[in-house]
Structure 1
Amino acid sequence: MTRLLIMGAPGAGKGTQAARLAIELSVPAISTGDMFRDQVKLETTLGRQVQDIIAAGDYVPDALTNKIVDERLTQDDASTGFILDGYPRTADQVTHLDLLLEMQGTNLDAVIHLEIDMKQLLSRLFKRADAQGRADDSPQTIQHRLETYDLTTGPLLEEYKSRGRLITVDGLASMEEVTKAILHALHHRAYFVPTFALGSAARRGDTITPLKMV
């Protein structure tokens, strides 16, 4: 079983890497952002509730986000694992996910953090805005989303680091190199050795870059 979180600022490449890892690890990539945007397009009750929130670059309230994640993680294809993109984003969501996994008798295997320089990140986001025309990719919204991310995500990364679950990867490398670096780090953490035998670098949550790959 493979249960992963993938975290990073907006535009860091979470969706791309989640999709690539899903193929490599044979588990579904689950994006809360995509699920909410689908609800908006379908004009469902939930979609109408979250439309303005998403357009403003704010986080959807915990209760709504927890509910949609609960429903998705109980589907059959997630029974053998998943890659969560965009969740959890708050301390309350971390607690909720902990309780959900505990009820299922499982735990997270690792939390992947895609680290990226802010200037490079802004360049990526502006290019994506031009190419995709997403409502939540206006310059003002982009800045707001990044500020919100900085305020809320730092403590979550520290929490997962303290649990020995955090793997930080350089998100500025090529798409292929980032995927290889993540798989390399995963294979040297918990998939082929017991958790108690992990090396000190893994326990510390050290950064893993493509240059360190063997």
Structure 2
Amino acid sequence: MLNFVLFGPPGAGKGTQSQKLIDKYQLIHISTGDLFRAHIKNQTLLGQKVSSLIADGQLVPDAITIAMLEEEVDKNPEAKGFIFDGFPRTVPQAEALDEFLESKGSNIAGVIALDVDQDELTKRIAQRQKETGRVDDQADKLQKRIEEYFNKTVHVLPYYQAQGKLKKVNGIGKIEDVFADLCAVIDQY
């Protein structure tokens, strides 16, 4: 099983690039953001809990996120591998993911960080908010999400770097150029 973490701040292009990678490598995409939005849309009990946290720009507690992610992996026992998007966001989540995958006889092959500066992120998310109306893209919530990434989430990178699994890709440029750079990294595996 070939598993990757696609890493980057809100607006880095993880969702856009994940779709292209899925098509090319036949991997299953697991986006915690998409899982949260689906639960919110379906007004599940979990969705109600997650809704208030996301609306305030906060991270969902590890236990809830990990349980949802494990459920998604278990739904796809024949998968060639997974692209984890938006997870892990903390070192404890990374450790939990490693333990879970190890219990399945697998691991994270690599972590690819899309490198995008804050000015570009702000422009991209403002455009996405106009197009989609996502609540978590509103200016006040966006700033909290970006701060959360740079203050907390970015600290997951040294965890994977210590394992020799971290690769960085410039996330600014044409979508096809960024995709080609991502493929060059994945093809090494």
Q: Shared fold by TM > 0.5?
A: yes
Counterpart of 1:109? 109
Tell me the alpha carbon deviations over residues 173-209 of structure 1, each in whole angstroms, 9 at most, x when there is no partner.
2111111101112223xx2xxxxxxxxxxxxxxxxxx
Q: Distance in 2 between matches of 1:166 and 1:180?
A: 17
Counterpart of 2:138? 138
Which of the pair has more CA radius of gyration? 1
Counterpart of 1:177? 177
Q: Distance in 2 between matches of 1:32 and 1:122?
A: 21
How far 1:44 sits from its partner (Å)?
Answer: 0.8
Q: Distance in 2 between matches of 1:78 and 1:14?
A: 24
Q: Distance in 2 between matches of 1:38 and 1:186?
A: 29
Structural RMSD (CA): 1.1
Counterpart of 1:56? 56
How far 1:77 sits from its partner (Å)?
Answer: 5.4
Tell me the alpha carbon deviations over residues 83-121 of structure 1, each in whole angstroms, 9 at most, x when there is no partner.
010100011111110110110111111101000121111
- One-letter amino acid of the counterpart of residue 113, structure 2: H
Q: Structure 2: any 5+ residue segments left out of the alignment? A: none
Counterpart of 2:152? 152
User: Taking CA–CA contacts closer than 8 Å with sequence separation of 6 or more, which of the two structures ends up with the larger relative contact order?
Assistant: 2
Q: Would the aligned equivalents of 2:28 and 2:79 in 1 still touch at CA under 8 Å? A: no
How far 1:56 sits from its partner (Å)?
Answer: 1.3
SS at match of 1:2: coil
- One-letter amino acid of the counterpart of residue 168, structure 2: T
- One-letter amino acid of the counterpart of residue 178, structure 1: V
Note if 1:44 corresponds to 2:61.
no
How far 1:76 sits from its partner (Å)?
Answer: 2.4
How far 1:40 sits from its partner (Å)?
Answer: 0.5
Counterpart of 2:164? 164
Q: Distance in 2 between matches of 1:54 and 1:38?
A: 13
SS at match of 2:27: coil
- Relative to the length of structure 2, the TM-score reads 0.96
How far 1:78 sits from its partner (Å)?
Answer: 5.8
Q: Would the aligned equivalents of 1:3 and 1:107 in 2 still touch at CA under 8 Å? A: yes
Q: Structure 1: any 5+ residue segments left out of the alignment? A: 192-214
Which of structure 1's runs of 4+ aligned residues deviate more than 2 A? 76-80
How far 1:20 sits from its partner (Å)?
Answer: 0.7
Percent identity, please.
38
SS at match of 1:76: coil
Q: Tell me the matched-pair count.
A: 189
SS at match of 1:89: coil
Q: Distance in 2 between matches of 1:77 and 1:14?
A: 24
